[in-house]
Structure 1
Amino acid sequence: MSQSATRTGILVGVDGSAESDAAIRWATNEAVMRGVPMTLAHVVAPLIRSWPMEAMYANVTEWQQGNARHVLEQALKTAHAGVPESQLPDVYAETLNSSVVSTLVHASENKQMVVIGSRGTGALGRLLLGSVSTGLVHHARCPVAVIRPEPPPSGSDAPVLLGIDGSPASEAATALAFDEASRRGVGLVALHAWSDVAVFPMLGMDWHEYESEGHEILGERLAGWQEQYPDVQVQRRLVCDQPARWLIRESQHAQLVIIGSRGRAGFASTWLGSVSSAVAQSADIPVLVVRETALESGWASTE
């Protein structure tokens, strides 16, 4: 693949939170596995200056810079504690001063992956993803990994779970899923939902025709990648139900979910738009979201 030749490592957004620490640990292992450098970035949002706040501006700015140094120092310690010193990749730390989302989106243009912590309140009553993780999922120029504070232990032999719908974004996600499964030495579960609605019969629908089409999509999308990655054992799953529900359910037995962002047009346009957000919000394991722009950086090439 051309990915490693055109992209320069992994970017981790850090802010000192538990989610941030989890993202650092996951990204460190990913960087070790790929043999690439890692950049820990803390973004300081600019203050809006106004006359009543003018006297406090200098003090607040000084506090922000001091806090940034503290956050990055702790982030470096977390990264170093995650793996043996002999295996630690090159790790860089930087403070960026601008809007958080736009800054990280811009920085993602030359990265293999962005890793960010999620925002949540647990399985019940969970809040939506944080504004930063949501912004990156929808706008980053490379795959985005959304990490929970304390992902449940799924076992090192648990498979990678892939959502397939046949779109360009799905093709890029498939490329990354085979790569991740191969590097981890685990199997791949490829799931395709051949219905975007609940399983209640609809008048005039030929279910057998849709099911046959689903098997065809899976076969076509997996064939080239199975040839390129003969070491990856693939289990195909074809379901008749809303895809997000099944991906979240199957994620309980996986170590990583990979899904595209932006999907089929028309009636099924929600497959990898809202689905990617729903899975990133609800799955308890790391979720990698791949946008169609990943096609430009070599993820979906079988050459």
Structure 2
Amino acid sequence: GAHMVVVGCRGQDTFHRAVLGSVSTGLIHHAHCPVAVIHDEAPNLLGPSPLPVLVGIDGSPASEPATAIAFDEASFRGVDLLAVHAWTDSDSSGVLSKHWSVLQSRAAEILAERLAGWQERYPDVTVHRRLVFDRPARHLLDESESAQLVVVGSHGRGGYAGMLLGSVSAAVAHAARIPVIVARQC
């Protein structure tokens, strides 16, 4: 099988964006390998860029393939890696202020667990960690404005589950202006 599928998005009108969007969404949810989505609005990065590689880490096993690809890409490109763990809780009104330090500490543990061992394997990659209480897709899109590549994992929830639950990976892949690699857990 393929090591990676690369999909370009060039459609300018709503119809073409919907059709291309459905193809890339299908691949993101069902491909058995990583999927790279390259947008026509992507800045021309033919030359070396000092911008970091951005990886979204949610703490699940689906983060592992994304972390592996992100470290490999950062090392290959000779740039830093920005590892982001963003989380939100719709019912956090009173809990947030009372338990902020506990939530933040747990988030730091999750990020540290998922990065464990990778920094030793890639000593040439400087890692910056960021913990954010925000919707993951929104924050990754904000961070992507100052990155050259985004790498996210996919839980593989295709079909109705993926549509109903929403997909951070699909949202980022469709809305980011820079290349996005969606790593599958195979």
- In the superposition, relative to structure 1, how do residues 143 and 273 fare at CA in structure 2: closer, same or farther (>3 Å)? farther
1:33-52 counterparts in 2 under 5 A?
none
* Aligned counterparts of 1:148 and 1:290: Cα–Cα separation in 2: 17
- In the superposition, relative to structure 1, how do residues 233 and 212 fare at CA in structure 2: closer, same or farther (>3 Å)? same
1:152-188 deviation per Cα after TM superposition (whole angstroms, max 9, x unaligned) = 2466111100000111111110011001110111110
- 2:101 aligned with 1:208, yes or no? yes
| Residue from 25, 28, 49 that aligns with 1:134 | 25
**8 A contact 2:156–2:184 mirrored in 1:** no
**8 A contact 2:3–2:34 mirrored in 1:** yes
Q: What displacement does 1:215 show?
A: 0.5
**8 A contact 2:75–2:125 mirrored in 1:** yes
- In the superposition, relative to structure 1, how do residues 119 and 280 fare at CA in structure 2: closer, same or farther (>3 Å)? farther
Structure 2 counterpart of 1:284: 177
* Aligned counterparts of 2:154 and 2:179: Cα–Cα separation in 1: 16
* Aligned counterparts of 1:257 and 1:118: Cα–Cα separation in 2: 16
1:111 is paired with a residue whose SS is: coil
Normalising by structure 2, we get a TM-score of: 0.84
| Residue from 149, 167, 172 that aligns with 2:60 | 167
| Residue from 120, 123, 127 that aligns with 1:227 | 120
1:214-245 deviation per Cα after TM superposition (whole angstroms, max 9, x unaligned) = 00111111121000000000010100010111
Q: 4+ residue stretches of structure 1 with deviation over 3 A?
A: 119-122, 126-129
Residue identity matched to 2:2:
K
Q: What displacement does 1:127 show?
A: 4.8
| Residue from 182, 189, 192 that aligns with 2:82 | 189
Pick the structure with greater CA Rg.
1
Aligned residues: 175
Structure 2 counterpart of 1:255: 148
Unaligned runs of 5+ in 2: none
In percent, how many aligned pairs have the same letter?
Answer: 61
- 2:143 aligned with 1:143, yes or no? no
1:191-221 deviation per Cα after TM superposition (whole angstroms, max 9, x unaligned) = 0013254xx8423452221111000111111
* Aligned counterparts of 2:173 and 2:80: Cα–Cα separation in 1: 21
State the Cα RMSD in Å. Answer: 2.7
Residue identity matched to 2:136:
P
**8 A contact 1:247–1:279 mirrored in 2:** yes
**8 A contact 2:30–2:156 mirrored in 1:** no
1:83-137 deviation per Cα after TM superposition (whole angstroms, max 9, x unaligned) = xxxxxxxxxxxxxxxxxxxxxxxxxxx1211101125549xxx955522211111
2:23 is paired with a residue whose SS is: helix
**8 A contact 2:29–2:156 mirrored in 1:** no
1:49-85 deviation per Cα after TM superposition (whole angstroms, max 9, x unaligned) = xxxxxxxxxxxxxxxxxxxxxxxxxxxxxxxxxxxxx
